[in-house]
Amino acid sequence: MNRQVLFICLHVLHSVVGQISYTIPEEMTKGSLVGNIAQDLGLEIKRLISGKAKIYTRKTDEYIELNRERGVLLVKERIDREALCTETTLCALHFQILLENPMEFYRVTVQITDVNDNAPTFEQREMQFKISEAAITGAKFELERAVDLDVGINGVHKYELKPTDNFALKVHNNPDGNKNVEMVLQKPLDREKQEQIYLVLTAVDGGEPQMSGTMLIVITVLDANDNAPVFTQSTYKATVTENSPKGTVVATVTATDADQGSNGKITYSIINTLENIRKMFEVNQEKGEIILMTNIDFEKSRNFQINLRATDDGGFTDSCKLIVDVQDVNDNNPEINIMSKSNVISEDAKVNTVVTMINIEDRDSGENGKVQCFINENVPFVLQTSTNNFYSLVTDSELDRERASEYNITVTCSDEGVPSLSSSVTLTLQISDVNDNAPVFERSSYEAYIVENNTPGLSVFTVKARDADWNQNARVSYILEDSSVNGVPVSSYVSVSADSGVIHAVRSFDYEQIKDFHFCVKAQDGGSPPLSSNVTVKILIQDQNDNPPQVLYPVQTGGSVVGEMVPRSADVGYLVSKVVAVDVDSGQNAWLSYKLQKATDRALFEVGLQNGEIRTIRQVTDKDAVNQKLTVIVEDNGQPSRSATVIVNVAVADSFSEVMSEFTDFKQDKEYNDNLTFYLVLALAVVSFLFITCLVVIISVKIYRWRQSRVLYHSNLPVIPYYPPRYSDTLGGTGTLQHVYNYEVCRTTDSRKSDCKFGRAGSQNVLIMDPSSTGTMQRIQSEKNILDEPDSPLEVGRTVLFTT
Give the binding site for ligand NAG (CB under 6 A): 406, 408, 428, 481, 520, 532-534
Closest approach of ligand NAG to the CB of residue 409, in Å:
10
Residue 279, phi then psi, degrees to nearest 5 = -75, -20
Closer by beta carbon to ligand NAG, 317 or else 534: 534
User: Other CB atoms closer than 10 Å to residue 423's CB: what's the count?
Assistant: 18
Closest approach of ligand NAG to the CB of residue 713, in Å:
15
DSSP at 193: T
Is cis: bond before 188, omega within 30 of 0? no
Closest approach of ligand NAG to the CB of residue 525, in Å:
12
Q: How far is CA 233 from CA 292, 320, 469, in A?
A: 21, 7, 80
Question: Position 323: which residue type?
Answer: I
List 446's β-bridge partners, or say none.
537
Closest approach of ligand NAG to the CB of residue 680, in Å:
50
Closest approach of ligand NAG to the CB of residue 710, in Å:
19
Q: By C-alpha distance, which of 780, 771, 784 is closest to 801?
A: 780
In the chain, count H helices and then E strands: 8, 54
The size of the chain, in residues, is: 804
Closer by beta carbon to ligand NAG, 35 or else 501: 501
Closer by beta carbon to ligand NAG, 98 or else 520: 520
Closer by beta carbon to ligand NAG, 55 or else 404: 404
User: Other CB atoms closer than 10 Å to residue 560's CB: what's the count?
Assistant: 9
Closest approach of ligand NAG to the CB of residue 428, in Å:
5
Closest approach of ligand NAG to the CB of residue 708, in Å:
24
User: Other CB atoms closer than 10 Å to residue 607's CB: what's the count?
Assistant: 25
Closer by beta carbon to ligand NAG, 440 or else 712: 440
Closer by beta carbon to ligand NAG, 174 or else 378: 378
Q: How far is CA 72 from CA 3, 29, 41, 63, 216, in A?
A: 13, 15, 11, 14, 50
Angle at 44 between CA 42 and CA 45, to 5 degrees: 135
Closest approach of ligand NAG to the CB of residue 343, in Å:
12
Closer by beta carbon to ligand NAG, 308 or else 463: 463
Closer by beta carbon to ligand NAG, 187 or else 403: 403
Alpha-carbon distance 443 to 618, whole Å? 65
Beta strand segments in 525-637, E: 532-542, 550-553, 563-566, 575-578, 580-582, 592-599, 605-607, 613-616, 627-636
3-state DSSP assignment of residue 674: helix
Q: By C-alpha distance, which of 537, 538, 463 is closest to 497?
A: 463
Alpha-carbon distance 399 to 409, whole Å? 14
3-state DSSP assignment of residue 49: helix
Closest approach of ligand NAG to the CB of residue 334, in Å:
22
Closer by beta carbon to ligand NAG, 38 or else 535: 535
Question: Position 268: which residue type?
Answer: Y
Closest approach of ligand NAG to the CB of residue 406, in Å:
5
Alpha-carbon distance 46 to 57, whole Å? 23
Is cis: bond before 489, omega within 30 of 0? no
Question: Are 92 and 110 in contact, with CB atoms under 8 Å apart?
Answer: yes
Angle at 416 between CA 412 and CA 419, to 5 degrees: 95
Closer by beta carbon to ligand NAG, 405 or else 734: 405
| Residue 386 exposure: Cα atoms within 13 Å on the Cβ side | 10
Closest approach of ligand NAG to the CB of residue 429, in Å:
9
* Nearest residue to ligand NAG on Cβ basis: 534
Closer by beta carbon to ligand NAG, 530 or else 724: 530
Closest approach of ligand NAG to the CB of residue 403, in Å:
11
Closer by beta carbon to ligand NAG, 121 or else 534: 534
Q: How far is CA 581 from CA 82, 506, 596, 774, in A?
A: 204, 33, 14, 21
Closest approach of ligand NAG to the CB of residue 405, in Å:
8
Closer by beta carbon to ligand NAG, 532 or else 631: 532
